Structure 1
Amino acid sequence: MASSAVALRRVVQRYGPLLLALTVAAAVWASATGDIGVRSPLPGAVPLVLALLSGWAAAMLRTRRWPLFLAAAVGWLVLAAAAAGVVASYQAGLRLRGRRLAGFLAGAAAVLAGGVLIGLEVGGVRRMTTAASGNVLMLAVCLVGLPLVLGLWVRARRDTLAALRDRAERLEREQEARADRVRAEERTRIAREMHDVVAHRVSLMVVQAGALEVTAVDPATVEAAALIRTTGRQALTDLREVLGVLRQAGSTVVPEHGLDALDELIGESRTAGLRVCRRDEGVASALPATVGRTAYRVVREALTNVRKHAGDAETVVCLRYLPDGLEVLVRNGPSKGGAALPGAGQGLLGLRERVELLGGRLEATPVDGGFLVRALIPVAGVA
């Protein structure tokens, strides 16, 4: 329905002036020949020229109004033709305001008065039609009054709709501004809580790891303390970036790693004690940055879960380069047991949503006593 209305509006905008010009010209000619008005005694060339000029004036209405007003006055005084006058009165109500509208009414009254004088002079049917008091009043209403009122009503309706549209847009902007303000306040609150809780505890961990690194005698303990301190410092750096984004009202995002940083991620996991290896299958090809970042996120979350729940299990990270996408598999074997770290269980849910946004799918299922995370990320349509 909406598309039909838009198509109709386009047709009217494109062919409306031509249709109006043909209608006005035909009506003026019909009035001059006596079909819908008083037959003119003038030579045929005069009504034809006036009809063509009236049609041209109607076609030029979007850019110039005065030719139509002039054609309406000349057509009424010379031929008693009302078509151009009706259109001129409607356009006056639609477009003129204040003094210009008052000037048009004065001009219309003068033209009607001139038509009365000409009718009295010519006599006959012209006198009866344009000079009789009752007909003059009816002509004033039909030629000027009704079209003018219709134009005023259409203009008032347009102004009302424009005001309502502006009000709706203003309310929408105000609502968006309030929502942005509420989001900014919530982001600031979250950032403050993260800083107060997480940053404090990670900083304490880094300080304690540094003290242990200095006081420990066992080389293995010193190495582990150094790793904890380095990892904690990196966590504080990442947390600072996240907090900076939360405090910003813009759409700045934290820089994310891609497949080029996958070996570094696996190396960090090995340093932390995880037995993990990488295997690539297929012909490696250039992938969109979004696909690379998503694959990195899948591997990182999967390795994090392995460290939490099966830190002693053997783990394999496999990248399969497919003709139409990339398949990421992270599989760990059975664990011999041990205390699992706490987790909220939201990591895989967020990853699944991220992969599905790219048109892919993610599976996370137990396999042979271990666990398999498999993500298939298509390349087609991804920027």
Structure 2
Amino acid sequence: MSVLTLAVLDGQMGVPSDLPMPVQLTIAAAAGLAAWHARRSWWPLAVLGAVAYAGLVVWPPLMLASYYAGRTLPRPRGIAAYLAACVAVCGIGAIVGEARDGLQELLTASLGNALFMMLGVIGLPVALGLWTGELLRAAKERAERLEREQVMRAEQARTQERARIAREMHDVVAHRVSLVVLHAGALEVRASDEETVRAAALIGGIGREALANLRDVLGVLRSPEGHARQEAALRPPPTLGDLDRLLDQSRALGITVTRHDEGEPRPVEPTVERTAYRVVQEALTNVHKHAGDAGTRVRIHYGTDALEVEVRNDAPAPSGAADTPPRAPRGGVPGAGWGLVGLRERVELLGGTLRTSAQDGGGFLVSARIPA
């Protein structure tokens, strides 16, 4: 734009300008700067173009401004207002040309030349801008429509996958857990000794709690925005306040579990409490699966900026050792091996860290630090 403007100033139609070179360079530099800024705002270019055309018949800035006007202004009112302003600029240019005579009068005050200049400098660039703007708007609308369709297809695929998972969980997992609850209830009714009755009642209670949690999960899978979420809100997820009940369930199965709290207990975010509860739950599940009757220590530490949870179990007692309670059968509780992986992901989502390691002597440590 600067080069074209300077060329027009230096010799339009073969007639050199009478402006000093520093003035020409200043006008050309201003036109180049305004053209560079036109992508953000083309009004400075339009103002410079109007002044340069009316006063000096320097048409490149006004031509570029007309293109941007056609591409960006609303129609029809915006375009009509811009064309009316351009006609006024051309009228002022004709008056100035009449006063100055020479080439400027020939270009601006002569009716044929004035119409030719208006068509070439204003009309055609506006039309080109209108056509380009229409193409850009159509391409943008097409891209937005394709994006919406892609999002809808992805959402439909997620909905179908959730429904499939919900069906599998209902048909397999819920059915099996229901059978466990039913058999535990039958054993509780028919058993003669008190210890078996208590064990059956405990198994039945845990099974019914598992069914309730499974029903909430199935409801979220099938209808995340519907009635299932309202029901889940009536049964809030477990927090640290429910930790003692979880430990009592493990104690009832023959595991010695101790709890030790450190620091000043204080309220923390519900998501942090739920994650801490899941850490203890998964660690105790692994003790049941792999360590049987091993003594387990649970430590909850309330730090200034984090909640630390540590579950450490001893090595399991040898089978048949004297004065040891019966152990939970090893290898009888299948697992997918993804418990600690999912737990680590849950902790890291909150910006925390999870550490698991085997201890000297055969024990195992699960330790989590969660920002709170």
Are 2:253 and 1:272 equivalent residues in the alignment? yes
Are 2:364 and 1:375 equivalent residues in the alignment? no
Taking the aligned partners of 2:79 and 2:248, their CA distance within structure 1 comes to 73
Residue matched to 1:219: 194
Distance change >3 Å, CA 23–CA 78, structure 1 → 2:
same
Residue deviations 1:318-340, cap 9 Å, x none?
Answer: 01122221111000101125523
TM alignment of 1:307-318, pairs within 5 A: 307-318=288-299
Taking the aligned partners of 2:182 and 2:91, their CA distance within structure 1 comes to 98
Residue matched to 1:160: 135
Q: 1:19 offset after TM fit, Å?
A: 5.2
Q: Give the letter aligned to residue 371 of structure 1.
A: F
Q: Give the letter aligned to residue 221 of structure 2.
A: L
The TM-score normalised by the length of structure 1 is: 0.70
Distance change >3 Å, CA 239–CA 308, structure 1 → 2:
same
Q: Residue 106 of structure 2 is aligned with which of 121, 129, 132?
A: 129
Q: Give the letter aligned to residue 272 of structure 2.
A: V
Distance change >3 Å, CA 151–CA 64, structure 1 → 2:
closer
Residue deviations 1:165-209, cap 9 Å, x none?
Answer: 111111111111111111111111111111111111111111111
Residue matched to 2:75: none
Are 2:207 and 1:232 equivalent residues in the alignment? yes
Distance change >3 Å, CA 9–CA 236, structure 1 → 2:
farther
Taking the aligned partners of 1:298 and 1:320, their CA distance within structure 2 comes to 14
The TM-score normalised by the length of structure 2 is: 0.72
Distance change >3 Å, CA 140–CA 64, structure 1 → 2:
closer
Residue matched to 1:346: 338
Q: Is the 8 A contact 1:331 1:370 kept in 2?
A: yes
Distance change >3 Å, CA 9–CA 216, structure 1 → 2:
farther
Q: 1:23 offset after TM fit, Å?
A: 4.5
Query: 2:268 aligns to what SS in structure 1?
Result: coil
Q: 1:372 offset after TM fit, Å?
A: 0.4
Are 2:244 and 1:244 equivalent residues in the alignment? no
Q: Is the 8 A contact 2:38 2:45 kept in 1?
A: no
Are 2:161 and 1:183 equivalent residues in the alignment? no
Q: Is the 8 A contact 2:307 2:369 kept in 1?
A: yes
Distance change >3 Å, CA 361–CA 16, structure 1 → 2:
same
Deviates more, 1:334-343 or 1:228-237: 334-343
Taking the aligned partners of 2:107 and 2:290, their CA distance within structure 1 comes to 101
Structure 1 vs Structure 2: percent identity of aligned residues?
A: 45
Aligned residues: 302
Residue matched to 1:79: 96
Taking the aligned partners of 1:194 and 1:345, their CA distance within structure 2 comes to 18
Q: Is the 8 A contact 2:263 2:302 kept in 1?
A: yes
Query: 2:356 aligns to what SS in structure 1?
Result: strand
Taking the aligned partners of 2:80 and 2:249, their CA distance within structure 1 comes to 73
Q: 1:65 offset after TM fit, Å?
A: 3.5
Distance change >3 Å, CA 316–CA 126, structure 1 → 2:
closer
Q: 1:25 offset after TM fit, Å?
A: 3.0
Q: Give the letter aligned to residue 298 of structure 1.
A: V
Taking the aligned partners of 1:349 and 1:241, their CA distance within structure 2 comes to 23
Unaligned runs of 5+ in 2: 1-33, 60-77, 320-328
Query: 2:260 aligns to what SS in structure 1?
Result: strand
Q: 1:30 offset after TM fit, Å?
A: 4.2
Q: 1:137 offset after TM fit, Å?
A: 5.3
Q: 1:140 offset after TM fit, Å?
A: 3.5
Q: Is the 8 A contact 2:280 2:298 kept in 1?
A: yes
Are 2:300 and 1:304 equivalent residues in the alignment? no
TM alignment of 1:24-39, pairs within 5 A: 24-30=50-56
Residue matched to 2:243: 262
Q: Is the 8 A contact 1:210 1:225 kept in 2?
A: yes
Q: Give the letter aligned to residue 359 of structure 1.
A: G
Query: 2:309 aligns to what SS in structure 1?
Result: strand
TM alignment of 1:45-124, pairs within 5 A: 64-65=81-82, 68-72=85-89, 74-80=91-97
Taking the aligned partners of 2:207 and 2:261, their CA distance within structure 1 comes to 31
Q: Residue 142 of structure 1 is aligned with which of 93, 104, 117?
A: 117
Q: Give the letter aligned to residue 72 of structure 1.
A: V
Taking the aligned partners of 2:259 and 2:204, their CA distance within structure 1 comes to 26
Q: Is the 8 A contact 2:97 2:108 kept in 1?
A: no
Q: Is the 8 A contact 2:292 2:330 kept in 1?
A: no
Q: Give the letter aligned to residue 313 of structure 1.
A: A
Taking the aligned partners of 1:139 and 1:146, their CA distance within structure 2 comes to 10
Distance change >3 Å, CA 10–CA 333, structure 1 → 2:
farther
Q: Give the letter aligned to residue 308 of structure 1.
A: K
Taking the aligned partners of 1:9 and 1:284, their CA distance within structure 2 comes to 64
Q: Residue 358 of structure 1 is aligned with which of 350, 353, 357?
A: 350
